[in-house]
Amino acid sequence: MKSVTEEAANQPSHQLQAEAGKTNLILKTPKGTRDFSPKQMAIREEIFGTIISCFKRHGAVTIDTPVFELRDLLLDGHWEESKLVYDLKDQGGEMLSLRYDLTVPFARYLAMNKITNFKRYHIAKVYRRDNPSISKGRYREFYQCDFDIAGQYDPMIPDAECLKIMHEILSALQCGEFLIKINDRRILKGIFDTCGVSDARFEAACSSLDKLGKMSWEEVKTEMVHERGILPEAAEIIGHYVQLSGGERLIHQLCQDPKLSKSQQAVEGLEEMKLLFEYLTLFGVRDQVSLDLSLARGLDYYSGVIYEAVLLRQPNGHCKEHPPVDSVAGGGRYDGLVATFDPKGQKVPCVGVSIGVERLFSVIEQKLEMSKEKIRMKETQVLVATAQRNFLTERMKLINALWGAGIKAEMSYKKNPKLLNQLQYCEETGIPLVVIIGQQEMNDGVVKLRDVATRKEIDIPKENFIEEIKKRLEK
């Protein structure tokens, strides 16, 4: 007989490594990712359903794109985002990266297919090599829910619809009071121009400004001066503007500003902002919108109006001491992005909105936990049950008829289940109806239909039981 040592010595090295690794195996999801339980998935599916319903109501069709793109194409002209990107090893001679958003792949899709007018939504996973915060709904792998309008249209009409969509979704999800902050990159550009900030430093300065809320103005100003090369006196003037917020009165005030009036971009942005507020009033969402000059949106492809929504009050009615800094939705206009992919540089103006579904899920999940509301994980409508032994064949015939009629149905996988256990299963999972078959029902040519909530039972002719169940499910 071989000794244990001899047997181990004769094992392949990869087998030894695998067995040794088992003792040190840590069961966890990768950092910045998570699993979702059936209960959580039921909540998420309802959220997705609400979002998709809104997107379709506004006339969008859906597309899908690969989860990875050619690295050079993904980052073409947007190397500031390279720190967010997960690179893949060379596969078959192609350098690939995981997509970090759905906007750049959409622009590539438009350019590649020579599409100039399109209204689409896209719901899919994206990946960001970022510092995650699970408690705040910030992950490295997460879903984005995007709605975009591509095409040359009259100013601010598509933009107003995107903001209306954002408002509709946040209202429908009942996630608490919210504020939609809007700005325009052209107004920001005018502010920076009047302060003598060069075009070369504008995007970097916007990246710093985008941190306002997570950082104080003094910290942002320090970063602008010491890391972005902005002169201290210029930063002081910028600080005066970016701490302003309001509505039509603020727009009028900025239009009269002697410094901004010298910037053609700022004037154009302010004129279109006035028009946007008119449309938002017509759409009935004006009260939840505020012009906020601190809003920058760090991604450099934004070219015009930009916006994001933040929650102001938790659904339980308790105000937070400070409004949350993380947005639950955002977007804006990116008129030049498609041209970066088009060989002829053809511009296709675009505007869109992205719903932060992970952050909304965190809020809604917490709300449901506090309310103790029972979440139904199954959509099963009918359970086929029996109170007697040896009725598996009859149960199978009945459930097959239900499935054939498009009714969601289940039955116990035991040959002879106990009726009490079957009824308790219905109460625990929220199944509303039970069809019961036994010898007496067989003799009478009926099935017994039980309402789980009221516990009332009636006999129905077997040939009519499908129609009766459909009537009850329609109520």
| Distance between CA atoms of residues 49 and 55, nearest Å | 10
Which pLDDT does position 325 carry in this prediction?
A: 43
Average pLDDT, the chain: 89
* Claim to verify: residue 21 and residue 52 sit in the same structural domain: no
| Distance between CA atoms of residues 101 and 330, nearest Å | 12
Q: Is residue 254 part of a domain?
A: yes
Which pLDDT does position 130 carry in this prediction?
A: 84
* Claim to verify: residue 132 and residue 264 sit in the same structural domain: yes
Question: Which tokens go with 419?
Answer: 């009726």
Query: What share of the chain in percent tops pLDDT 70?
Result: 90
Query: Over the stretch 390-429, which tens digit does the pLDDT of each residue have?
Result: 999 999 999 999 999 999 999 999 999 999 999 999 999 9
* Claim to verify: residue 221 and residue 349 sit in the same structural domain: yes
* Claim to verify: residue 22 and residue 46 sit in the same structural domain: no
Sheet of strand 457-461, all strands in order from the earlier edge strand to the far edge? 409-411, 382-386, 433-437, 446-451, 457-461
Which whole number is the average pLDDT over 419-448? 96
> Which span out of 77-91, 204-218, 266-280, 363-377 was modeled with the highest average pLDDT?
266-280
CA-to-CA dists, residue 456 to 426, 448, 451, 453, angstroms: 14, 10, 5, 8
**Residue 318 pLDDT class (50, 70, 90 cuts):** very low
* Claim to verify: residue 265 and residue 149 sit in the same structural domain: yes
**Residue 319 pLDDT class (50, 70, 90 cuts):** very low
pLDDT at 5 over 60: no
**pLDDT top residue among 372 and 437:** 437
CATH of the domain at 460: 3.40.50.800
* Claim to verify: residue 433 and residue 360 sit in the same structural domain: no
**Residue 12 pLDDT class (50, 70, 90 cuts):** low
| Distance between CA atoms of residues 450 and 468, nearest Å | 12
Which whole number is the average pLDDT over 166-175? 95
Domain hosting residue 17, numbered range = 1-30
Q: Which value, in Å, is the radius of gyration of the alpha carbons in the chain?
A: 29
**Residue 43 pLDDT class (50, 70, 90 cuts):** very high
Which pLDDT does position 48 carry in this prediction?
A: 97
Beta carbons of 118 and 151 less than 8 angstroms apart: yes
Which pLDDT does position 137 carry in this prediction?
A: 67
* Claim to verify: residue 2 and residue 66 sit in the same structural domain: no
CA-to-CA dists, residue 126 to 81, 145, 217, 338, angstroms: 14, 10, 31, 20
Beta carbons of 206 and 300 less than 8 angstroms apart: yes
- A 10 A CB-CB count for 149 gives 24
| Distance between CA atoms of residues 209 and 230, nearest Å | 12
Which whole number is the average pLDDT over 136-153? 92
Question: Which tokens go with 187?
Answer: 């107004």
pLDDT at 95 over 80: yes
* Claim to verify: residue 251 and residue 320 sit in the same structural domain: yes
Q: Is residue 377 part of a domain?
A: no
- Number of compact structural domains in the chain: 3
Degrees (nearest 5) of the Cα angle 465, 468, 474?
140
Question: Which tokens go with 411?
Answer: 């039955």
**Residue 78 pLDDT class (50, 70, 90 cuts):** low
**Residue 374 pLDDT class (50, 70, 90 cuts):** confident
pLDDT at 92 over 70: yes
* Claim to verify: residue 317 and residue 454 sit in the same structural domain: no
pLDDT at 193 over 60: yes
Which of 70-79, 217-226, 275-284 has the lowest average pLDDT? 70-79
